[in-house]
Amino acid sequence: MSANFDEEAMTEGNNSPPTPSINGDVVLKWDNLNYQVKTKADKQPSVRHILQNISGEVRAGEVIALIGSSGAGKTTLLNALSGRIVGGELSGSILFHGAKRNPGSFKRQTAYVQQDDLMHPLLTVQETLTYASKLRLPNKQYNARQKADRVDTVIRQLRLEAARNTPIGDAATRGVSGGERKRVSIGTELLTDPRLLFLDEPTSGLDSNSSEMVVELVKKISVEQNTATIMTIHQPNARIFNIFDKVILLSQGQLVYFGPTSASIGYFASIGFECPVHENPADYFVDLMTLDYRSDEALAQSKQQVSALIESFARHASQQPPPSSEKQSPASSQAGSNVALRLDAPVPRNNWLYEYSTLARRDWINALRNIPFMVGQIAQAVVMALLIGFMFFHLRHDALSINNRLGVIFIICVNATFPIVMPMLTLYYLERNIMVRERSSATFRVSSFFLSKLTSYIPIALIANTVFFIGVYFISHLVFDAGKFFIGLALFYCITAASVAFLLLVGSAVKSVEFGFVIAPFVLTIWLLFGGLFANPHTITPVLRWIRWVNPFQYAFSALVQNEFKSLEFVCKAGELCYNNGAEVIAAYSVGRFTIWQDALLTLMITFVYIVLGYALLRWTAKPKTIWL
């Protein structure tokens, strides 16, 4: 990694900040937005209008709060404006710096802080921001020094100096506080110096002091960096409310007010709703806009009130001059159109190898710090090696040992499946969710993520499995021959790699963790059933016989049995049901159809198919299916 960074530092020394913006210019303007979804009410298809006739704009350096009661449509509006709406029908217009949004560059010029902070729990604050800077800032515009400076600036701006070296943490590991966590989450988005920042409920779950700090910092940074900011917020206290430049009040998906915060109290007073002096205006407005379900009468009355508020604001808005034509001098509009041109220019991406090596390094740090996982893997390997080793302790060369040898080989293969797939699938789902989040700002390619996972998971799985294989091999006394031992180990590595590829395939194909945890053991059980020990392939019903051809477990098991039994002789007692030598066992179990090397190759070929399929499916399932205007 350092080599990469030194190289960047030497070759790329552009000090200029990213795209400029002009203070006060309209950054995003939305007109007559309508969003509806098809639903089924009483089994009858119907259409639900979630947003209706929403218009507005946000200017550089301005912070707008999106306020409304639960279900008012705040998140839907934020998603529509940020290009994250999935499903349904969206109509109207949204212009970014006066032009239609280009999904690729819009995502890279803007930032979205989601409500739940999804980050790697074992990385420190500094590391989280450093990796985000490496992945998100283009090397063509920032060298290593500038990226580090950007991280320091964000840490300072968000007052995270004291928590710099504290891990993020999660439910299992103590880490930073809730407020610090939120600020790190905001920090990763601010690194790119976005023109437009969206925040979904940044204060949810925080106490009032932390909430105030978050909103104050966002405001300060928006002014300093000339960023246009829109955030949804649930009933802010009076001090927080007054920090916002403007507010959008939403009820039932419609506008009740959009304008300067300072003018909101006056506006409501002018239509007959005087906010009591000692009441928090935000609470007062939300109360006015909320439907009262306590009784039919109260509901009818509150519906009437909300309709009146919506109508009043529509009348008020129609009497105002078009907002974006205010104060826009010819010079600034000329500059604005230049900005639009630059914003539409493709944002340079970092090269693939740089992305891959950064992600791989982050994976290794995460893996090595995941002590419970690593210790669990090694401890499991040691305990299983001792258990299985002593279960089949010192195999002899008699009739009884034949079944035992087959048994120990089968269990060796089993140990390369479930104990790898299940715990690693858990890790993969967490990583995958973080990846989807990071990629929503077009941070890196899916291919670099997928390959970094493959190349970190395989060695991690091999470490524990090597311990296991050596233990079982020598304690149970499989054939003591260096050649056979190393071939056996190589075959064991093949099935281990197939299992890792399989877990990546399941984790990529199936978005839902719960479903993934049903599918993976189900398929692994089929691997074992058709693995070659329980049923002779020739006796399996013809319609099911094909399963063995796509079963990597069966190839690995066949090869390991051949490796062990070839050239073994057995001492059979008179009258005993027994095979005289290994060749007879290989023939009886029909595991000699292919040579050891052919079996190994077939296992690796299936592994490769899993990898290609897994990658293709991850690209498909991780692709945002958003609607753009």
Ligand X SMILES: Nc1ncnc2c1ncn2[C@@H]1O[C@H](COP(=O)(O)OP(=O)(O)OP(=O)(O)O)[C@@H](O)[C@H]1O
Q: Which is nearer to ligand X, 72 or 591 (CB)?
A: 72
Q: CA torsion angle for 238, 244, 246, 249 (degrees, to 10)?
A: -50
| Closest CB to ligand X among residues 89, 576 | 89
Nearer to ligand X, 51 or 123 (CB): 51
Query: Tokens for 581?
Result: 């030598």
205 touches ligand X by CB under 6 A? no
Of the candidate residues 13, 17, 20, 87, the single one contacting ligand X (CB under 6 A): 87
If the CB atoms of residues 155 and 248 are measured against ligand X, the closer one turns out to be: 248
C-beta of 231 vs 359, nearer to ligand X: 231
Q: From the DSSP assignment, how many helices (H) and strands (E) are in the chain?
A: 23, 10
Regarding 37 and contact with ligand X (CB under 6 A), the answer is yes
Kindly tell me which residue out of 22, 26, 28, 50 binds ligand X, with binding defined by CB under 6 A.
50
Which residues share a beta bridge with 255? 250
Our CB check for ligand X shows the closer of 72 and 510 to be: 72
239 Cβ neighbours under 8 A, 6+ residues apart = 212
Residue linked to tokens 């929503």: 440
Site for ligand X in 52-81 (CB under 6 A): 68, 70-76
Is 269 exposed, middle or buried (CB count within 10 Å of its CB: 0-12, 13-18, 19+)?
exposed
- State which residue, 39 or 595, has the beta carbon closest to ligand X: 39
Strand, coil or helix: what is 610?
helix
Nearer to ligand X, 71 or 138 (CB): 71
To the nearest whole angstrom, how small is the minimum distance from the Cβ of residue 626 to ligand X? 12
Neighbour tally for 347: CB within 10 Å: 17
C-beta of 545: minimal distance to ligand X in Å? 46
Minimum gap (Å) between residue 94 Cβ and ligand X: 16
Number of residues that bind ligand X (CB under 6 A): 15
CA distance 372 to 574: 53
Give the shortest CB-63-to-ligand X separation in angstroms: 18
Q: For residue 113, report the phi and psi dihedrals to the nearest 5 degrees.
A: -100, 115
Candidates 544, 551, 582; CA nearest to 564 is 582
User: What is the per-residue binding string for ligand X in 227-256, x denoting contact by CB under 6 A?
Assistant: -------x----------------------
CB of 77 to ligand X, least distance (A): 7
Task: Enumerate the H helices of 320-445 as residue ranges.
Answer: 330-344, 352-369, 371-391, 399-415, 418-439
Of the pair 77, 221, the CB lying nearest ligand X is at 77
Q: Which residues, at least 6 apart from 609, have a Cβ–Cβ distance to it below 8 Å?
A: none
Closest to ligand X by CB, 17 or 87:
87
Report in angstroms how near the CB of residue 48 gets to ligand X at its nearest.
6
Q: Give least dist CB 177 to ligand X, A.
A: 23
Start-to-end C-alpha separation, the chain: 40
User: Closest separation between CB of residue 97 and ligand X, Å?
Assistant: 26
Tell me the closest approach of the beta carbon of residue 425 to ligand X, in angstroms. Answer: 29
- Grouping H, G, I as helix, E, B as strand and the rest as coil, residue 391 is helix
**If phi over 0 gives left and psi between -120 and 50 gives alpha, with beta otherwise, what is residue 353?**
alpha
Asked whether 51 and 77 are in contact (CB, 8 A), the reply is yes
Task: Provide, rounded to whole angstroms, the least separation between the CB of residue 86 and ligand X.
Answer: 7
Which member of 88, 138, 169, 521 binds ligand X (CB under 6 A)?
88
Of 401, 389, 415, the C-alpha closest to 528 is 415
Instruction: Please report how close the Cβ of residue 73 comes to ligand X at its closest, in angstroms.
Output: 4
Residues 6+ apart with CB under 8 A from 511: 621
CA separation (Å) from 355 to 33, 131, 135, 361, 624?
A: 38, 10, 7, 10, 20
Closer to ligand X at the Cβ: 160 or 256?
256
Neighbours of 225 (CB within 10 A): 19
- Binding residues for ligand X (CB under 6 A): 37, 39, 48, 50, 68, 70-76, 87-88, 234
